[in-house]
Structure 1
Amino acid sequence: MTMSPNSQPAPRSAAPPAEALRVINFDLARGQRFGEHEHSTHQLVWSPASVLTVDIGDHSWVLPPTLALWIPAGVPHTTGATRQAQMRSVYLLPDRCPVRWTQPTVVGVPPLLRELITHLGDPDVGAQPRARAEAVLFDLVRPVAVTTIELPMPVDARARKVAEALLARPSDHRALEEWGREVGASARTLARLFSAETGMSFGRWRTRARLRAGLEHMAANRPLAAVAHHVGYTTPSSFIAAFRQETGRTPGAYFTAR
């Protein structure tokens, strides 16, 4: 099998004519990322037991095991994990795939879809059983009614320095005035930059950064109280309230999204 420069398989030649899709497993070390790349096939990015992050342009998705991301062919993206993880990617030939989405789309992963992906990853599955399983998989690839925690990054160097510091330490409570003294910009300038370049206020951006970090810790089965404190909330209830406001679900419901 040929490999792409980032050590992922080149899906163009990965699936023989008898197959509409191919499932490939990748073991990712803590902090490992596949640099920006694209595929000639569609890709469904999913982890059966860990949390993955996918960045496309200015947008970032955090995917627990109950969610996957559909990436259309030709869309540049980066994929990684903040902790050790296994990525189970489904590569789908566009001319054999009935799903026609042209934008990245979050997909729910109920138990049946989970088992089908695992089943189709078995190289010993025969042609006819594989064709039947593929047809069911296509039928189960459905968008999920849950808002993921997208986190566009500012472009301006001063605002980006603040954003990167908050990603590294989401519990940092410093106000814009304090950040401004550190990066050489007024609080008003930073507020304007966050609004113009991320589409949200600084306060909302920081909230999303905290929730994204919290999601990654919850996926590692840390107690909710510890997670809330780690990302800057004084109580679990305040973390839950913020999470519900941004995603429409409680943290527990987010991980069991259907």
Structure 2
Amino acid sequence: MTHENTIDLERFEMVRGQTFLHHVHDDHQLAWASSGVVMVDIKDRCWVLPPHLALWIPGGVRHATGALRESVLQGVYLDPVSCPLAWPRPTVLAVSPLARHLIGYLAGALAPEVRAHAEAVLLEVLRPADGAVFELPLPADPRARETAALLLDDPADPRGLGELAHAVGSSTRTLLRLFLAETGMTFTRWRTHARLQAALAHLAEGEPVGRVAERVGYATPSAFVAAFRRVTGTTPAAYFARSRGDADGPAT
């Protein structure tokens, strides 16, 4: 009996800033960086994905993928007809050490029955990530979108809301209203999430917390760690320990 693959894999070595512009797959896709950090942009959302997280992209969903650092992007493509998983919306999944091993294993030459078993186990261990993940909603209004772009380009931008509003030809009151209405977050909360999202790329490369805090606009490392803990429920060190399969990483 011939086994038809449910899963196909492709490996892309990407340099910093390299982007696959908006495109669509018929298959479901799991976008995962086995090393480095990638960002996936889908309509009014973007996700930053270190190695312990992957994004499930349903077939037919238009998306763009970029490397925030030198990265290895693993494209895991799943046939919608035979795949038992079917999350209807983009969903962040946890990549456990076992899932990481299975993806690498499936990239090799395997006998059909061995491949079928490995595919089945991988599909069983893929689960939505627990806790806070760095999904960032993007506003649609041109003034708010331009403000968001300024802060994504330079998370350490020291300007307050009034100065940013002036720069994009808006008022403080209007920007406050737009961010809340279009992202579901206050401007202050959105800016915090944007800064922490940017920090992931630096933390994933092993940069010291103090340097990362400065890069993304925090005056002290302790202020950065406190913000990180408020959003994720853990410290940066413990958060990234998950990518090594070490649940008890040191608190930094």
Pairwise same-fold verdict (TM > 0.5): yes
- Following superposition, the deviation at residue 158 of structure 1 comes to 2.0
After superposition, the C-alpha distances for 1:149-191 in whole angstroms (9 at most, x for unaligned) are 2222222222222211111111122212212222222211111
Match of 2:87 in 1: 101
1:114-168 C-alpha deviation (Å, 9 max, x unpaired): 111011011x211111111111111111112022122222222222222111111
Q: Which of 198, 214, 235 lines up with 2:183 in the alignment?
A: 198
Equivalent in the alignment of 1:75: 61
Residue 253 of structure 1, CA deviation? 2.6
Give secondary structure in 2 for the equivalent of 1:115. Answer: helix
Q: How far 1:231 sits from its partner (Å)? A: 0.6
1:220 aligns with 2:202: no
Residue aligning to 2:248: none
Identity %: 51
* Partners of 1:38 and 1:73 within 8 A in 2: yes
| Higher strand proportion | 2
Report the residue type matching 2:133 in the other structure: T
Deviation of 1:66 (Å): 0.8
Please tell me whether the aligned partners of residues 48 and 87 of structure 1 are also in contact (alpha carbons under 8 angstroms). Answer: yes
Structure 2 residue aligned with 1:116: 102
Of 104, 118, 133, the match for 1:148: 133
Per the alignment, residue 249 of structure 2 pairs with: none
C-alpha displacement of 1:28 = 1.4
Q: Structure 1: where are the runs of 5+ without partners?
A: 1-15
2:10 corresponds to 1:27: no
- Equivalent pairs, count: 242
How big is each residue's C-alpha offset from its partner over 1:16-49, in whole Å with a ceiling of 9 and x where there is no partner? 9621111110121211111112211111111111
Let me know the Cα RMSD of the aligned residues: 1.6
Q: Counterparts of 1:26-105 in structure 2 under 5 Å? A: 26-105=12-91
Q: CA deviation at 1:110?
A: 1.4
**Structure 2 unmatched ranges of 5 or more:** 246-252
C-alpha separation in 2, matches of 1:43 and 1:120:
15
TM-score, length-normalised on structure 1? 0.89
Question: How far did residue 71 of structure 1 move?
Answer: 1.2
What amino acid is aligned across from residue 239 of structure 1 in structure 2? F
CA offset at residue 100 of structure 1? 2.3
The amino acid of 2:38's aligned partner reads L
SS in 2 for 1:213: helix
Query: Counterpart in 2 of 1:127?
Result: 112
AA at the equivalent of 1:254: Y
SS where residue 177 of structure 1 aligns?
Answer: helix
Asked whether the 8 Å contact 2:91–2:128 carries over to 1, the reply is yes
Please, what TM-score do these two structures have when normalized by structure 2?
0.91
Question: Whole-Å Cα distance in 2 between the matches of residues 184 and 52 of structure 1?
Answer: 32
Q: 1:4: which partner in 2?
A: none
Who is 1:167 aligned against? 152
**CA–CA separation in structure 2 for the residues paired with 1:95 and 1:167:** 38
**Which one of the candidate residues 134, 142, 149 is aligned to 1:157?**
142
Q: SS where residue 145 of structure 1 aligns?
A: coil
Contact in 2 for aligned 1:149/1:246 (Cα 8 Å)? no
